[in-house]
Structure 1
Amino acid sequence: MPGLQQTKAARPRTATVIGAMLALAAMLFGAAGAAAAPADAPGAAGAAHQAAGSSHPAAAPSSLSGKTFVIGTDTTFAPFEFRDAGGELTGIDMDIIREIAKNQGFAVEIKSLGFNAALQALSSNQVDGVIAGMSITEPRKQIYDFSDPYFESGVQMAVAKSNTDVKGYEDLKGKTVTAKTGSEGETFAKSIAGQYGFTVKALDQSATMYELVKSGNAVAVFDDYPVLAYGIS
């Protein structure tokens, strides 16, 4: 995302995980309850990848082998999921879910729906699971069953490179910021909007958010720090 610069961490890092229905999560990771580990659990990051790439993989259940599961994901959330130069959906999440499928002997059909749409599809049983850099939160744990955490993340704020006025939240008063619909970035931005006197404009597409900031129609964007760091670097 040329033209943007990171400013400050918005909140402590939290675990970013695969969000999946109980049945699918249990089959993928062999966990009877498929419950999320605490965000600050030692060694939590990378647990899902270790399960997929273990040198002693668990045998695939006979009821699982040969089946196809529909997995929802975001459209663009690099480095977790994005299209490469050839138009192929790639990224950390895609590597993880494809390796798990290969290891366990089933197939996956990936549907690039957008983050909010993917969660809605999961809630309405239109997909079997979601992998989209999804943070574990208490409200989400009331709705979804999570895999073990595989990445430590957190929300950051970024502004345009040309913006020398915004150095902290107090500089956002009377202005508009943007964040992705349904994301932790949106949740956090809205949680402090009243305190600092700014407006949050939620958008479905990452590219649209960043263009809004670069064009000056929003002064800042709130997003997961790995996504901002990947794009800015």
Structure 2
Amino acid sequence: MKRLIQIALGLALVAALCAPAMAKKLVVAHDTNFKPFEFKGEDGKYTGFDIELWQAVAKTVGVEYELQPMDFNGIIPGLQTGNIDVGIAGITIKAERQQVIDFSDPYYDSGLMILVREGDTAIKSVEDLKGKIVATKTATSSVDFVKASANAKEVKLFPNNDGMFFELMSGGADAVVFDMPVVKEFAMTAGKGKVKTVGPLYRGQSYGIGFPKGSPLVTKVNEALKKAKADGTYEKLYMKWFGYAPGK
């Protein structure tokens, strides 16, 4: 009997040591202010397209998680060090990022757009940004685009959306160049009557969910994304947060 008890305790110890790796609560990082993808609602809780899409994905995968709001430029380093398990924050899938983290399949197709003050008639395209002061967000694909294509006098970088939009409206910048859905949402809400979008949509880009290199979650999340698109969950969330159907 004593021998059986010892064996049982040994098996219990092995199970206890193995369990945390399988059942730990994931740390899911998201941007603090990237409306309508993620932002703090009136109830003080974070919400948005990314947040609700991840909720659906996590339910399908069967994982528990805690949301970790943070500045965008800290998310990829956090994934590299393993301090973060998942990053969902409108992260553009780029070759240089794929060298240091893994991505899910694309879940949103976007592009870049120019935002100017309402009364501005001089800026109509990226060519008109020559010699101008342009505001955008730190560590995003917008920075690469502006530096390569705008020939701006100065590029001002901000850790969050509020900073770059305020800089434009206060006259500290001549234009903002950033992700189309975020720019359009601001122009239709808080910036209505104060700012406007101009020019075409520049540089098509796709967002992906980020993971540390070699994460076993990638395959499971891709399967969950396919399920969300197949059963209508994805389209329902898309309509809720953008006001039109995917591909429109």
* TM over 0.5, shorter chain: yes
Q: Deviations over 1:202-232 (max 9, x none)?
A: 1101001000000110001111101111222
Q: Deviations over 1:111-137 (max 9, x none)?
A: 110110112211222111210011111
Shift of 1:178: 0.8
Query: Structure 1 residues 64 and 226, CA, compared in 2 at 3 Å: closer, same or farther?
Result: farther
Partner of 1:114: 71
Partner of 2:80: 123
1:162, 1:216 → 2: CA distance?
A: 12
Partner of 1:227: 182
Partner of 1:201: 156
Partner of 1:40: none
Partner of 2:169: 214
2:123, 2:60 → 1: CA distance?
A: 48
Shift of 1:148: 0.8
1:177 aligns with 2:110: no
1:149, 1:174 → 2: CA distance?
A: 35
Classify the secondary structure of the residue corresponding to 2:148.
Answer: helix
Counterpart among 39, 42, 48 of residue 91 in structure 1 = 48
Amino acid aligned to 1:219 = D
Q: Deviations over 1:31-62 (max 9, x none)?
A: xxxxxxxxxxxxxxxxxxxxxxxxxxxxxxx9
Amino acid aligned to 1:118 = I
**Which stretch shifts more, 95-104 or 201-210?**
95-104
Classify the secondary structure of the residue corresponding to 1:154.
Answer: strand
1:89, 1:64 → 2: CA distance?
A: 27
Identity level (%): 36
Q: How does 1:51-70 map to 2 (within 5 A)?
A: 66-70=23-27
1:132, 1:79 → 2: CA distance?
A: 11
Point out where structure 1 has 5 or more consecutive residues left out of the alignment: 1-61
Structure showing greater radius of gyration is 2
1:105, 1:76 → 2: CA distance?
A: 27
Could you state the TM-score of these two structures normalised by the residue count of structure 1? 0.68
Partner of 2:89: 132
Amino acid aligned to 1:91 = G
Shift of 1:103: 2.0
2:54, 2:75 → 1: CA distance?
A: 15
Retained in 2: the 8 A contact 1:72–1:122?
no
1:149 aligns with 2:111: no
Retained in 2: the 8 A contact 1:65–1:105?
no
Partner of 1:23: none
Instruction: Give the number of the structure whose residues are more often helix, by fraction.
Output: 2
Retained in 2: the 8 A contact 1:98–1:108?
no
Shift of 1:164: 2.0
2:61, 2:125 → 1: CA distance?
A: 47
1:170, 1:102 → 2: CA distance?
A: 46
Shift of 1:93: 0.8
Query: Structure 1 residues 169 and 100, CA, compared in 2 at 3 Å: closer, same or farther?
Result: closer
Shift of 1:171: 2.7
**Which stretch shifts more, 196-205 or 88-97?**
196-205
Could you state the TM-score of these two structures normalised by the residue count of structure 2? 0.64
2:169, 2:98 → 1: CA distance?
A: 35
